[in-house]
Each structure stands twice: as structure tokens, then as C-alpha cells.
Amino acid sequence: MYCLVKFAPLFLAVAVCNGWLFGDFVGKRSELDEISLWPLPQKFQSSAVAFKLSPARFQIVQAKQSSAGPSCSILENAFRLETFSQLVYEDDYGVNNINKTDISDFPRFAHRGILLDSSRHFLPLKVILANLEAMAMNKFNVFHWHIVDDHSFPYMSRTFPELSQKGAYHPFTHVYTPSDVKMVIEFARMRGIRVIPEFDTPGHTESWGNGIKDLLTPCYSDSSPSGAFGPVNPILNSSYDFMTQFFKEISTVFPDAYIHLGGDEVDFSCWESNPDIQRFMVQQGFGTDYSKLESFYIQRLLDIVAATKKGYMVWQEVFDNGVKLKADTQIHVWKGRPQYQDEMAQVTAAGFNALLSTPWYLNRISYGQDWVNIYKADPQNFTGTDAQKKLVIGGEACLWGEYVDATNLTPRLWPRASAVAERLWSDKSVTDVDNAYNRLVQHRCRMVKRGIPAEPLFVGHCRQEYKGL
Amino acid sequence: MYCLVKFAPLFLAVAVCNGWLFGDFVGKRSELDEISLWPLPQKFQSSAVAFKLSPARFQIVQAKQSSAGPSCSILENAFRLETFSQLVYEDDYGVNNINKTDISDFPRFAHRGILLDSSRHFLPLKVILANLEAMAMNKFNVFHWHIVDDHSFPYMSRTFPELSQKGAYHPFTHVYTPSDVKMVIEFARMRGIRVIPEFDTPGHTESWGNGIKDLLTPCYSDSSPSGAFGPVNPILNSSYDFMTQFFKEISTVFPDAYIHLGGDEVDFSCWESNPDIQRFMVQQGFGTDYSKLESFYIQRLLDIVAATKKGYMVWQEVFDNGVKLKADTQIHVWKGRPQYQDEMAQVTAAGFNALLSTPWYLNRISYGQDWVNIYKADPQNFTGTDAQKKLVIGGEACLWGEYVDATNLTPRLWPRASAVAERLWSDKSVTDVDNAYNRLVQHRCRMVKRGIPAEPLFVGHCRQEYKGL
């Protein structure tokens, strides 16, 4: 879909074939310890033959067999290739060197994502862009933007401007304008990263209710409205009319083929308290099974979104509740109970694409080197057939926003998310923790050198320490 | 000892009596919710009478009864008083207001410290200075600088330059020069903060051994030296000669009346392996009790430091091992077993000043609002007489450096250390967690506004979010 993605295997080859012809041969180098690729390529052979790089004369050219012309600006831009730059090391004299290296590379999984949550705390544009840069350094290719939730609605909608006017923490300073959103998408696209927005309904929508009258269910207490509101009201046609218009806008603003529709953690207590909802349940013959009402809502929402020609991702509850889903629906596994391995098996046994996040909730922190367990988790580590394993399209590291904002998000995410990056990119056999530690220590210093405040794994230092706070 | 400390009660009174005479009366204000003092003053009475502050005309003058003249530059400088600035709030029109307020304030404990560790990771000067600024905002008055340890020796000694030349992570980029140290001390002094350096011996000294021949004990394996080294060699006169010269320098570089001498976690295995040490143990009649050898070393070290006219702080092991201590020695309690309450009782029962850190090891992190338990700990919460309680001079929040450096130190420390700040400053009765939450949320936004990346307590926003990464 994007030029960059399409040509990825090609331009890697270009760098391999031609890159160092423009360096100066400087003889053999015995120690390769300065070279630490992350994530590890699928096939990689380095030799001791080293070349010096001259900033003035160095260039990357396309191989003769390349089918991409110079008109592909993304490819031209991408000649700052991540893997190539990791091969360059500074010697004791400050000269950039590179060793003759053959690399043949491709990702193990197609979907390698990071979820950021801009609702619990507003994330300034600068923070999002810096993390897209870090994602590119780690070969992540999906930014799952959990853009709105109960606590605030920072997305500025052209169709319903009152959503952010009344639902954001502040209508001017704590919003993403259409041009902000465009910038995020374009900045990501230039780095081979898709932006998948999540607009989670029918739960997690408290902030939506400020701007849209009657969208949320009025909760009752002692047979009168309590003043509180619950999930989207699933029994009013106006709710679906709103969703139709809203997702029509979203489908044009975000060019990716997929939208994440949420569908998690719907609290039934408000629905249960509301006499109109109770009456509707009887009419529909749902008894007291409110998950049937949830499915009723989701079913209609999926039809609305399908009409925009987008595919959809949903949290696992939507699958668990037996909602009828299009064959290309992607099921996002996040719960710890039942065991995520069982859920992965069930989702793929039903023929759906599965994405894993359960072991990668990076908002959860503990003392010490927790990257090790993050690194050990494998999305295909469940009991199932080869066909089932092939339905696993990847995973996402999630950094939910309750305890993070611009002050601490970046060091909390990196390099812990780098452990996920290697799991999703490199061969399944790449599991040596000691080896990973040594490479990751250097990789995190590389991020620091580029201005990303990636936190240390353990005691030690970087040649260039972080210059911010 | 410092002008600022001496006059602290005085200039607070000045601000109260005269500060707002230079503001414009703007009538009554019903809501005081914008005013959130941290730490809470001992006595505080705010009225609804509000004054506008004009940046052009506002000034603070001394009361007639003030004994400090305009020559006290620290007092002049300190007219940026922390408590006063917290009383100022911005109204909806961006005008700074202040309400008529009477404050009578003094700290509950004299010693309110933060320990930073610049050995496990080097901390750039900028990070130290920013945290001194944050300390002042929280009325901390001691910077306990755990400047060197096993992993690196960044302190550049004039007497023994080889210590940092060979013991720092890098001899030029990862060191504190004499002028760096001077700057830290002066920057702290202007904010009423003492700098107490820690040079921990005889353990935690691996990095010292690179620069000073024969300082450390050679470890043996199968009756020959293994190549590894243990704690400072306590049986050589040269060790004590070195310490005499070294602490003579330290006592002049650091003006504070106290030095922290460490003395924690001495590993006996290397001493046990060394035949010369074994022989010495026999000569001294120590049997196989190596804590007697440790005490032998510490005893001589304390005499050396006492000769420089400095007082000393030590970690609790020195007390636990029964070393003979000067009456003014401060015992720093840090262990969790036995319970720190018992240790506090024993230390004070023996007549020594006690400092608490056990519940305030802020390097230990967990998911969620861990500031609450930090806030609830009280250094006087142990079984003992009033006389014992009076020997508790305060405490320190410790941020050990295994997992922190410039990338993540500041948000990990703040506002969690603010919880310690209030415990050490405010009245014992100030324990309401909900009230503290509301004030601390605003206090952390105040830090963010001043450029300190203090992390969020929970979901929410600041009017001005952090502008860095």
C-alpha cells in the first residue's frame, strides 16, 4: 500500500550491493563488538573487511536491477536505512567505519505495533513524532493511536467539532487539529509506519457524551436518572446515525485500510439500570444477557464501518461474545485470563487473524530488568496447527496512559518496546538473552545519541549521554 | 551555618507582612482551590481577600523589625520564596492573584535529604542542577551525593587525579571537575541546600582500585591471587595514609560540617580468601569474626575523618557492628530486615541521631500510585521515649542508580519524592491522603511549568504540559 513497504526488500539489497563502494578500504578489523544490530536481521554475514566513510563523498545508489526510479521520493528519503546506519561504527579517531556485510532481511510478522494512549493524558505532537522516530529505529510499522477514551476527546472532528470542544482537557491546547493528524500520518508514512486510529465504543466513551446529546445511556438510580451516563445508547437510531457520519469522516482522514473499533470492557450496570433498555431487552428476546445487547450494537457498528470499505480490528471481547465478524477481521488479544495462549488458539481456530498484546502491556512496570520477560514472550507459542500459526499476524506493545505523559512516556517505552520489536521482526530462533542484552545496551545508546531518552537496562554508560532532562 | 537557613523563619514573616501591600485589591474570591501548598506549612490561614499582582510594580520588602540588611545577598535572592510563589494563582484572564494569607512555618525535621547516585550511571551536571531546583521547590535541604561506587569514580580529585582518570567511565566526559563540584555546591547553597558527599568504604570501592595501587584486597582462589579484588585492604598502613590525604582534600572541597562515610554491605569472602588477612586476624585475636576486622578499619577511618573536624554520617551496619562512634554521629537506617522501626528504636536508645531511608528507596518502582505508601511512612513511628523521638533528625529519599540516568531520573524521582518532602516538613498530623492527592496533583503541574519533568500521579492534565520529551 505504501511505496516504502512495497520496496523494502529491494532497497535493503541495494545498500548491501552498492553502499560501500563509495567508502575507502581501510583493512581488516578484528573486533566486531561495536556492531550490534537490533532487531537482528534474518540473515546476516559480516566480514572483517572495513571501509572508512567520508561524509563528503558517501552516497547510496540503486542497483542496476532496481525497478524503482529516482521519482520515488520515499525510497530516496529512506536511504537513511535503519539497518545500514547500525552497521556504521565510530573508531577511536572518530572516523565512521563500516565492514563489508551481506544482509538478507524480512520481518517475521507483518504487524509490529505500538499503542499510545492520548486520552488519559494528552500527548503533545512532539512526543508522538519522537516516538515514531524511535519506532522506525526499531522497525515497528504500526502506530495504533488510542486517540480518545473516557477521560478526554482530543481528536478535533470536522463533522462534530463539539466532541473536542467539550470533551478535550482543553479545547485549544489539548487537541489534535486536522493538520496535526495529517502531520502524524505523513511523518509515520515516510518511516514506513501505518497509523491505525482506535475509536473505542460502546464503552470507554464518557468524554464523547459532553459534545453529543443523547449519545450515552442515562443511568438510573431508584427509578430516576442519576445524572451519570454509561456506554453508547444502543437502542436509539440516533446513535447509529451519529456513528455513520463519524466513521465516514474517520475513514477519509486516516488512509490506512484498517480502523480499530475497540469493543472492550463494556460495563453493563448502567444498561441494566435503565428502564428503556430493559424494555428493549424484552422486545429483542435477549433475556438478561447484556452481552447480547453489546453484540447487537457492535454488529450494527461493524456494518457501518464495513460500508466505508475499511477493515477492522477489535479487542478480543468482540470475538469472545460471538459477534458475527467479516473474515478479514483482526482480533486483538489483550487479556491475561483465560491464558492468552488459549485465546490465541481459539481465535485462530475460528479462522481469524490474531494479534498479541497481553505480555506486552508496557505501562505495567516493576523493579529490575523486566525487558527479559517481554523478550521471551512469543505470539506463536500456543497449541495449534501450522495453519493456525500463520493466522498470527503480529503483535503490539501497549503503553496505556494512566501514569504516563510527556514527562515520562519515552523512557518508559524504550528500550522495553525494543524487546518486542526483535520478537516480531527476527527469526523465531533468536532467543539468546545474554546476546540480546549486549546488543540492546548498544542499541539503546544509539537511540540516546539520536535524542531519544531511552532508559538504561542496567549499570553502565553511553559514550554520549542524553542531553535533556 | 548558611545565611539562608539562619534567616528562614524571618523572611517568611516578611512576605506575610508586606508582600501584598504592593498588589491591587481585587475583592473577594470564593474558591481557594487553585491554592495548593506543598509541603503544607505548619500554620496557615488564607482569607478570601484577593490582590492582583502587577509584574511591573510588585516587590518584596523587609519588615522594619528585620535584622537582615540588604547586604545579605542570599536573602535578597531568596525573595523568590517557594511558599509565597505557591500562593500566587492565575485567574481565567491570565492575571496573577494572591489572597491575604498568614503563614507561620518551620520544618518538622532538620534533615530533609535526597540521595542521588552518580556512579552506577554518570549524571550530567544539568541533571543534578535541575534536581536541586526541584528539591528547593519541595523544601529539601540536603543533597546526599553518593558520588562514587564500585562501577565508576567520576569525582576528579586534585590529590589523586588517577582515581577518575582510571576509575571513571570516561576520564574527560564522565567526570565532575573541581569547578563542576563547586558549581553544584554553590547552586545548592543559594537554595538553602547542604551538599553532603558520600565516599563509601571499605566496600563499594572497586572503581578506586584502578587508580590506587594496593588499595584493595587481592582475592585468592586455590592459594594464589585470582586477579579479583575485594574491599579496601584494612591491614596495610598505606591504605590509611591514602585515606588521610584523600579525606583531607574532601574536607576542604565540601564545606558542609558532615561527610557520609558509607560502611554498608562489606562482602567478607575476599578478605576470608586472603592469607595475609587471615594471619592478621589471628594476630589481632579476631578469630573468624570478620565484622571485627571491618570495625577495625572503620574505627581508624573515623579517627582520620574526625581529625579534619568534620562530623560523619554512616550507614546502619557501622552501628550494628558495634564500632565506637563519636556522640554526634548520625546513623542512616536503610535496611528492611530487621524492621526499620526496631533499628530506629535501637539507634536512638543508644543516644545517636537517626535518619530514615528504608521506606523511601524510590529506585524501587511498582505499578500504580506508590506515592501513597511513601507518604504514609513516618520516621518517628517506632516504640520509644520522647527523648528517643527527638534524636530522629529526619530522613532521605534515595534514588540508587542501577536503572536510572539522565533519560529517566527526574520523572522517576518527582513527585514521588515530594511525598517524602511533606512528611519531613509538615506537622505530624498532616496525613490525609485525599487532601494530599489534590494538592500534589497541582504541585506536580507547578514543577512541570518550571521545566521539571515530574511524572503524573494519575489520569489528568496540566494547564501547561511538559515541553521536552
User: Mind giving me the DSSP string for B63-119?
Assistant: -TT----TT-HHHHHGGG-HHHHHH-EE-TTS-EEEEEEEEE---S-SEEEEEEESS
Chain B residues lying within 8 Å of A441, measured CB to CB: none
**How close, in Å, is residue A453 to chain B by CA atoms?**
5
Pair A383, A345: CB distance under 8 Å: yes
Closest-CA residue of chain A to B400: A459
Contact B402 A459 (CB under 8 A): yes
Q: Kindly state the cell numbers that stand for A225.
A: 436518572
Mean pLDDT across chain A: 90
Cα torsion angle, A267, A268, A273, A276, sign: positive
Could you tell me which chain A residue has the CA closest to the CA of B172?
A463
For residue B408, give the nearest of A120, A174, A411 by CB distance.
Answer: A411
Summarised one tens digit per residue, pLDDT across range A410-441 is: 999 999 999 999 999 999 999 999 999 999 99
Least Cα distance to B176 among B197, B153, B144 occurs for: B153
The minimal CB distance from A459 to the residues B120, B364, B411 is found for B120
- Distance of alpha carbon B95 from alpha carbon A385, whole angstroms: 68
Looking at the partner chain, which of A120, A364, A451 has a beta carbon nearest the beta carbon of B459?
A120
Comparing CB atoms, the residue among B403, B456, B461 nearest residue A456 is: B403
Which of the four pLDDT bands, split at 50, 70 and 90, describes residue A62? confident
Q: Tell me the chain B residues in contact with residue A366 when contact means C-beta distances shorter than 8 Å.
A: 365-367
- Give the helix, strand, coil percentages of chain A, each rounded to 5: 40, 20, 45
Which of A408, A460, A466 has the CB atom closest to B455's CB atom?
Answer: A408
Instruction: Give the pTM.
Output: 0.91
Contact A456 B405 (CB under 8 A): yes
Distance from CA of B155 to the nearest CA of A (A): 16
Strand, coil or helix: B352? coil
The neighbour count for residue A30, using CB atoms within 10 Å, is 7
Q: Running DSSP on this structure, what letter comes out for residue A430?
A: -
Q: What 3-state class would DSSP assign to A239?
A: helix
Range A49-63 average pLDDT: 79
Give the per-residue pLDDT at B465.
97
B194-198/B142-146 β-pairing: parallel
Q: In this structure, what are the phi and psi dihedrals at residue B53, rounded to the nearest 5 degrees?
A: -105, 125
How far is the C-alpha of B329 from the C-alpha of B314, rounded, in Å? 8
Say how many C-beta atoms besides its own lie within 10 A of residue B54's C-beta.
12
* B contacts of A460 (beta carbons < 8 Å): 121, 151, 169
Across the A:B interface, residue pairs with CB atoms under 8 Å apart total 144
What is the mean predicted confidence (pLDDT) over B271-283? 97
Is A193's pLDDT higher than 50? yes
User: Are B122 and A367 inside 8 Å of each other by CB?
Assistant: no
Alpha-helical (H) ranges within A336-415 are: 340-349, 371-376, 386-390, 409-413
pLDDT digits (tens, 9 = 90+) for A99-157: 888 888 899 999 999 999 999 999 999 999 999 999 999 999 999 999 999 999 999 99
Q: Which of A153, A407, A410, A458 to mutate to test the interface with B (most CBs of B within 10 A)?
A: A407
Q: For residue A92, give how far its alpha carbon lies from the nearest alpha carbon of chain B (Å).
A: 13
pLDDT tens digits, residue range B293-308?
Answer: 999 999 999 999 999 9
* CA-to-CA separations, B233 to A357, B198, B298, B299, B319, in angstroms, rounded: 52, 19, 12, 14, 21
The predicted-structure confidence for B349-407, as pLDDT tens digits, reads as follows 999 999 999 999 999 999 999 999 999 999 999 999 999 999 999 999 999 999 999 99
CATH superfamily, domain at A111-450: Glycosidases (3.20.20.80)
Determine the residue among A131, A402, A404, A469 to mutate to test chain B binding: the one whose Cβ has the most chain B Cβ atoms within 10 Å. A469
Render pLDDT for B421-433 as a digit per residue (tens, 0 to 9): 999 999 999 999 9
Contact between chains at B465 and A122 (C-beta distance less than 8 A)? yes
Q: Which residue of B has its CA nearest to A170?
A: B463
Question: pLDDT for B313-349, tens place per residue?
Answer: 999 999 999 988 989 999 999 999 889 999 999 999 9
Are the CB atoms for A379 and A392 separated by under 8 Å?
A: yes
pLDDT at A258: 98
Catalytic residues of A: 265
Question: What is the C-alpha to C-alpha distance for residues A178 and B294, in angstroms, rounded to an integer?
Answer: 68
Across the interface, do A412 and B410 touch by the CB < 8 Å criterion? no
Residues of B with active-site annotation: 265
Pairing of the two strands A194-198 and A96-104: unpaired
Nearest chain B residue to A452 by CA: give it. B469
Contact call for A455 and B404, based on CB within 8 A: yes
Q: Which has more pLDDT, B186 or B74?
A: B186
Inter-chain residue contact B460 with A121, CB threshold 8 Å: yes
Say yes or no for a CB contact (<8 Å) between B461 and A174: yes
- Answer whether A469 sits within 8 Å of B448, measured CB to CB: no
Cβ-nearest to A453 among B126, B170, B469: B469
Predicted confidence (pLDDT) at residue A352 exceeds the cutoff of 50:
yes
Contact assignment for B408 to A408 by CB distance below 8 Å: yes
Cα distances from A185 to residues A142, A144, A171, A190, in angstroms, run 11, 11, 22, 9
Query: Closest approach of chain B CAs to the CA of A448, in angstroms?
Result: 8
- Which residues in B lie closer than 8 A to residue A403 (C-beta atoms)? 367-368, 455-456, 458
> What SS3 class is residue A417?
helix
Residue A309 Cα, gap to closest chain B Cα (Å): 35
Closest approach of B137 to chain A, Cα-based (Å) = 17
